[in-house]
Structure 1
Amino acid sequence: MKTPKIFAAMLLAAGMGTAAQAETLKYSFQGTLNALDPYGLNETFTLSSLGNTYEGLTRRNENLEIEPALAERWEIIDPKRWRFHLRKGVKFHDGGDFTAEDVAFSVDRVRSEGSDLTTRIGPDVTVEIVDDHTVDFVLSSPNPILHSEWDTFYIMDKEWTTEHDAIKVTSASDTTPNYAGLHANGTGPFKIVSHEPGVKTVYEKFDGWWDTPKHNLDTVEFTPISSDATRVAALLSGELDMVYPIPVQDIRRIESNPGTTALTGPELRTVFLGMDQMRDELLYSDVKGKNPFKDAKVRKALYQAIDIEAIKSKVMRGLSTPSAIMIAPALFSGADAFTRYSYDPEAAKALLAEAGYPDGFSVGMDCPNDRYVNDEAICQAVAAMLAKVGVKVDLNAQPKAKYFAKILASGGYDTSFYMLGWTPSSLDSWNVLSNLMNCRDEAGKGSPFNIGGFCDEELDSLTQQILVEIDKDKRDSMIGETYKISHDNAYYIPLHQQSLAWGVSDEVKLVQRPDNQFKFRFVTKN
């Protein structure tokens, strides 16, 4: 994969050091790390945190290029059979051997009930164990991007998971996590030695790691701090070595403080709004007997009522890029062909009247308040803008643990209007389509993150064709068709790609990847 220029620029800004004497890194994020089950929540921070302990068959380097990890190499025997040659001599943190049995077990578990990562491997893919260190993945049709998301499909120890009665996945909504939800046993560079859900997690370097460390860390301590002011104060005082995200209004303060630096750059995540388009009546609305979001005119009205430039300038302080489609422009060559619907409150009112809502209506809105940059403030701004066209929003902003438990499948897609952010882990449009834009049933079969539940059979058909198409021009043309369908029907309201903003001590050198994953193996501390 050719590395986009923005990736290289961010790496130069972040810098990399060379290993020196061992150190302790103390850092904080705005949200919590709750369950440790690597299949429980398909969310960047959780996957990033667990990716320091667990590993996949592949991983991504500083430039987000795929490279070998637990598989030392792979080959395509024929278009429907991929063979992975596993790394020999790899140990789990408890001393157990890594073998092909663990890969086959992990495939079954990641596709099982309760998993939030079922799209990592298609249901039609079968696993054949060739020998202890060779595994074949047999497909029903060609798939040129089979392994593109596997850096966050972490391999679990079959023996350890079975011994501790933790085969069932601990999902985001589970209130009583099993052993794998509270403990971890990976093969990665750091093992988790203590974990207090939502309070503190302590990592120690794993001396038995198969790779040669580039980091110089002995211990890493993570403490969640939801308050922006408290998080920034801890960085400025030297109590913490790294915090993220930092409020855009505090960037200059951090830059001017002796001993700290603000790292900023573009992120690949698209933040957007979704609407329940499946139910015949919304769960949270004063409209009874019908669902206004089934009407494209209503969806477009909400879209045109939102002043995205005001959100960029006043809420994001310039650190966002308004988006017309559901993927960052750096990841799709045809992105420039699309433009947002214009901000036009009068046009929005006219569309609402045409749809039969001249006086507007009320609707509940779910948002996290500790997941995306200024997430609650964005939702508050959206609510104020919609009020001007007659749509009254009852905002329910809450910590991400409660938020995700409410809106995801395990919570019954309990929402009428919501905010979400999405980074395609494959860095490819197929990930966006298969996760967000295909039909799903009430149980979540189909696109599990199509929370609004809209169904467009043409999108489904194109998604399947895109998955197997090898010709890049044909593939890109079909991808463009899907985004046009989504845009024309306003199935989603894309807002922007937020910018990364991390606060870092000058004693720390790290890599700020545009996928917003923080990897300890790239960190050195003076």
Structure 2
Amino acid sequence: MIHKKTTFTSKSKTALASLLLAGTILTGGMSTAATAQDKVVVAVSPLGADSNLYWTTTGAFIFPSMQTLVGNSAETGKYDNSQLAESWEHNEDFTSWTFKLHPNAVFSDDWGPVTSADVVHSFEIHTGDDAKLSGISALKETTLTAIDDHTVRFDLPTPDPDFLFSHAGRGSLVIYSKAQFDAEGMEGYEAAPAGSGPFKYEGRDVGQSMTFSSIKDHWSGASPEFDEIEFRWVSEPSTRLAMLAAGEAHAVTLPRDLRDDAAEAGETVLSSSAGAMQSTMLFTGKFMKPEAEETRDATSYAWADARVREAVNRALDRDGILEVLYGEGVEALPVYTMDPRFPGYSQELADRFDEDYGYDPEKAMALLKEAGYPEAFDNAAIPLVVTSLAGNPEFAQMAELVQAYLDVVGIETEMREQDWATGNTAIRGFTADFVTPMRNAPVRPAALGVQIFFTEHASPHLDLGDPEINALGGELLTETDPEKRDAILNEMFTSIYESYAHIPMAAVPATVVVSSDLVEGWTFPGSTSSGLSHFELIDLK
């Protein structure tokens, strides 16, 4: 199996608490007998919603028994036909997408073949009033038609060249069996939903674990080399690490400091084959709007001045920050939402990044002096949000590190603790007056990401208030020619980059720590909301 393997060395930046913890739970643990190889155990953080009804969750975890229409290549993360759609096509303006199902796809437990009727049925329940999925709004205004038993067509209200994103790793539509629903109703799904994936749902201990059995001779050709896989929901990272050390788990998710400890103890850290998340610090408010907002004067923020924004970026030693936050091998991100897998990517900007954004405190101080900082600004202090978000425990430390570097060059800061929901409400209501960590996960297609985080054209959106970027975003809504879309996106990213409109941080892979005694490798692209997928490719020793 192809996989990315990372070996860490001890660093002085590792927290003392982590070192003490490692000393207490790793001593002697590696000699414990290995778990039986007919069952794989994966220990992860608890889910936000523990339900068999996928559409009632936020979409953080797709059961390995269930499938979407479109797959993602394990090696590259690009779209492929490894899920239920054998092929697809679209009309010239991307308002109609047609999917042909694999003719041999079947549901488990003898619920019959997967047909267009199952897709229509699943679409109806996923777009109902109780749907909580992130991104489901893109499907709610869509019309779905069954052309024949194995062909469905989605007709969209507006062009969407990135429609595959909703049907792949993001998983806004998971296909359930209509035959099971007709026979057992919603109670059947709640008890044991039939799926078409290479695993069969066996049961759950609510709040504790879920178990799936491997399907032999699966219709897709997938062939897991183990009989069962169990997911255990374990809140404490230290407990997950102890499970790995004791041979009670094959794979676990861990924060970076404990990943380092596990690697020091001889375990293996695997990274996704493609980027799973992008991180940034975002300036908020329509600060690039020439005129003041109706409710507040966004131009009074210190970061409304491009020289201050550049100074903030020049003040940061990103290599040092990213090593502390994410460990070795994580690269700086030239422009948030720009990704080499999607249109609009600019290698030129990536090549210029060190020159334009590199650590230069003297340049930062010169820019501040030129801008008349702090005297020239009514709101000179920059509030930095200290917050937490599931899956991103480093966000609080990110704000603290940024504050330390800004202090060195003389930028006044204010540390503001607030929960994620409060901050998000303020950002999207344009009442925010702070700088906050933000993530893009799973990495959205560039055209979608740039609209959400920088323009007025997505819902929900943030909007810099920049007339040029908003005009380009408007063109993107109607332009369907691939070359022209690429050029528009490239221009948008260049404008964001050259105006220092944000504080880009990193492109981060998904990681999992596996037992070096039990697991040889595991290839996964990091394309899902949880980062993990392709469980059938776990390669045991």
Same structural fold, with TM-score higher than 0.5 when normalized by the shorter chain = yes
Q: Corresponding residue for 2:42? A: 27
**Aligned partner of residue 378 in structure 1, secondary structure:** helix
Per-residue deviation, 1:469: 5.2
**Aligned partner of residue 262 in structure 1, secondary structure:** strand
**Aligned partner of residue 223 in structure 1, secondary structure:** strand
RMSD: 4.3
In 2, are the aligned partners of 1:424 and 1:431 still within 8 Å (CA)?
no
Matched, 1:310 2:324: no
Q: Corresponding residue for 2:119? A: 103
Q: Corresponding residue for 2:250? A: 241
In 2, are the aligned partners of 1:246 and 1:502 still within 8 Å (CA)?
no
Q: Corresponding residue for 1:394? A: 416
Alignment equivalent of 2:80, drawn from 59, 64, 67:
67
Distance 2:498 2:174 in 1: 40
Q: Corresponding residue for 2:279? A: 271
Q: Corresponding residue for 1:421? A: 439
Deviations 1:405-446 (A, max 9, x none): 5555799879754323214556x4123224433326xxxxx3
Aligned residues: 472
Deviations 1:475-505 (A, max 9, x none): 3321111112333455432211234443212
Deviations 1:19-72 (A, max 9, x none): xx97211122356453445345666xx2xx315232111112322242222222
Distance 2:206 2:494 in 1: 42
**Aligned partner of residue 204 in structure 1, secondary structure:** strand
Residues 418 and 197 of structure 1, relative CA distance in 2, 3 Å threshold = farther
- TM-score, length basis structure 1: 0.73
Residues 387 and 321 of structure 1, relative CA distance in 2, 3 Å threshold = same
**1:397-476 mapped onto 2 (5 Å cutoff):** 403=420, 417-423=435-441, 428-439=445-456, 446-448=458-460, 450=461, 452-456=462-466, 458-463=468-473, 465-466=475-476, 472-476=482-486
Q: Corresponding residue for 1:211? A: 220
Per-residue deviation, 1:272: 1.2
Quick one: which amino acid aligns to residue 153 of structure 1? S
Q: Corresponding residue for 1:284? A: none
In 2, are the aligned partners of 1:266 and 1:497 still within 8 Å (CA)?
no
Deviates more, 1:429-438 or 1:359-368: 359-368
Alignment equivalent of 1:374, drawn from 383, 390, 394:
394
Distance 1:359 1:410 in 2: 20
**Aligned partner of residue 320 in structure 2, secondary structure:** helix
Deviations 1:251-279 (A, max 9, x none): 4752653xx32334775121112344269
Distance 2:497 2:478 in 1: 24
- TM-score, length basis structure 2: 0.71
Per-residue deviation, 1:519: 2.0
Per-residue deviation, 1:157: 3.1
Residues 158 and 115 of structure 1, relative CA distance in 2, 3 Å threshold = farther
In 2, are the aligned partners of 1:189 and 1:209 still within 8 Å (CA)?
yes
Distance 1:240 1:219 in 2: 13
In 2, are the aligned partners of 1:35 and 1:182 still within 8 Å (CA)?
no
Deviates more, 1:205-214 or 1:154-163: 154-163
In 1, are the aligned partners of 2:268 and 2:515 still within 8 Å (CA)?
yes
Q: Corresponding residue for 1:285? A: none
Matched, 1:202 2:217: no
Distance 2:182 2:465 in 1: 38
Q: Corresponding residue for 2:332? A: 322
Distance 1:120 1:408 in 2: 18
- Structure 1 runs not aligned, ≥5 long: 1-7, 15-20, 167-177, 280-287, 398-402, 441-445
**Aligned partner of residue 164 in structure 2, secondary structure:** coil
**Aligned partner of residue 326 in structure 1, secondary structure:** coil
Larger-Rg structure: 2
Q: Corresponding residue for 1:498? A: 508
Q: Corresponding residue for 1:261? A: 268
In 1, are the aligned partners of 2:338 and 2:446 still within 8 Å (CA)?
no
**Aligned partner of residue 220 in structure 2, secondary structure:** coil
Distance 2:455 2:127 in 1: 18
Quick one: which amino acid aligns to residue 372 of structure 1? N
Deviates more, 1:184-193 or 1:212-221: 184-193
- Structure 2 runs not aligned, ≥5 long: 7-35, 288-294
Quick one: which amino acid aligns to residue 115 of structure 2? T
Residues 355 and 237 of structure 1, relative CA distance in 2, 3 Å threshold = farther
Distance 1:431 1:359 in 2: 33
Distance 1:454 1:229 in 2: 40
Residues 391 and 179 of structure 1, relative CA distance in 2, 3 Å threshold = farther
Distance 2:207 2:454 in 1: 32
Quick one: which amino acid aligns to residue 88 of structure 2? W
Per-residue deviation, 1:521: 1.7
Quick one: which amino acid aligns to residue 99 of structure 1? T
